[in-house]
Amino acid sequence: MYKKIRIITRKSELALWQANFVKEELLRHHPGLQTEIIGVTTSGDKILDKTLDKVGGKGLFIKELESGLLADTADIAVHSLKDLPAALDPTFKLAAILKREDAADAFVSNKYSSLEAMPGGAVIGTSSARRVALLKQHYPQLQIKLLRGNVQTRLGKLDKEEYDAIILAVAGLKRLGLSDRITQKLDTNKFLPSIGQGALAIEVLSSGTDLIDYLKPLEDKETRFEVDIERMVGSRLGASCSVPIAVYAKSTDNQICLTACLWDVVDNRCSYSRVQLDKSKHEEMVNNCLEELYKNGAREIMAKYPTSHREEFEKFRGDQKIK
């Protein structure tokens, strides 16, 4: 049906790995297909001296890619799913979610064997509101310092001893062949992952029904099931990247376990929920999870954070039309 698919992605080494992985999957299912990878530098890649919540949120990593779809200069956009907002603009659709890699976070250090081994006052780097909240909750003795940039940039700063340790995603390190840099894989029961962490997503225009059907062979049903649940919790809470939130769904046999946590780092408290039910009762599970979060103060915590950065994207998009 399609002779060529144009793939738009960020220019970082990890993003290009992901785009090439999607390319290979496309060729595996559609031999003879021509592909083109279009690398762009996003606003999020340019602004490295501030946390995302101060400059426009996760939308800064996707707006140029979505604009490429709108301008018909690309057919599909490849993302780390954790970089996407939980509530997607209805103009766009996640046509396929590929099989999830390890969802855990990695502790990386040239000095210490584990997070627990770090002494008081040691410097650890991250830019994630979720990771900051987890570190403050479990390791309040540590000094947390802003860390932005791609994986290689972050590792370079660690190697220059600007930090004693940093936190990165296991998935990104494994995909780049850097598993040997993982000092400690953090337990997902204690260090809860971000929504969609470890999964790759292919975004298209919602109007492209033929293309959506064409991409179906790349879909991993179990991963889709799990991350849809995570994104549903985040969406119904109205969470943006400024909100320290973790949601992780893990299915085993006919059961699925859903864990969620929302932090108030100012008043040093959190709202936590853990629910396990049959897979067939996933909607009930989401409702139970949200009910428990609200019971534990989620509404009061959410009221302290902005809930959307879509307005910033709408300004950027201007009067571009869908082709």
Q: What is the pLDDT of residues 165-199, one digit of tens each?
A: 999 999 999 999 999 999 999 999 999 999 999 99
Asked if 62 and 5 sit in the same domain, the reply is yes
Q: Which domain holds residue 118?
A: 105-185
User: Count of domains in the chain?
Assistant: 3
Same domain, 7 and 95: yes
Position 318 in a domain: no
Asked, for residue 280, whether it belongs to a domain, the answer is yes
Instruction: Assess contact for 257 and 288: CB atoms under 8 A.
Output: no
Token representation of residue 129: 């509101």
Query: Is residue 220 annotated as part of the catalytic site, yes or no?
Result: no
DSSP per position, 76-142? EEEEEGGGS-SS--TTEEEEEEPPP----EEEE-SS-SSGGGPPTT-EEE---HHHHHHHHHH-TTS
E strand or H helix that includes residue 238: none
- Give the bridge partners for 96, in sequence order: 202
Same domain, 112 and 235: no
Give backbone dihedrals phi and psi of 119, rounded to 5 degrees, phi first. Answer: -80, 165
pLDDT digits (tens, 9 = 90+) for 98-149: 999 999 999 999 999 999 999 999 999 998 999 999 999 999 999 999 998 8
Verify that 129 and 158 share a domain, yes or no. Answer: yes
Cβ pair 133, 65 in contact under 8 A: no
pTM for this predicted structure: 0.88
The strand order across the sheet containing 123-125 reads 143-145, 123-125, 165-169, 105-108, 184-185
Residues 166 and 232 occupy one common structural domain: no
Averaged over 298-318, what is the pLDDT? 59
Residues 47 and 81 in one domain: yes
3-state secondary structure of 245: strand
Name the active-site residue from 45, 83, 102, 105: 83
166 contacts 182 by C-beta, under 8 angstroms? no
Q: How many CB atoms lie within 10 A of CB 177?
A: 9
Q: Are residues 116 and 248 in the same domain?
A: no
88 and 5 in a common domain: yes
CATH of the domain at 21: 3.40.190.10
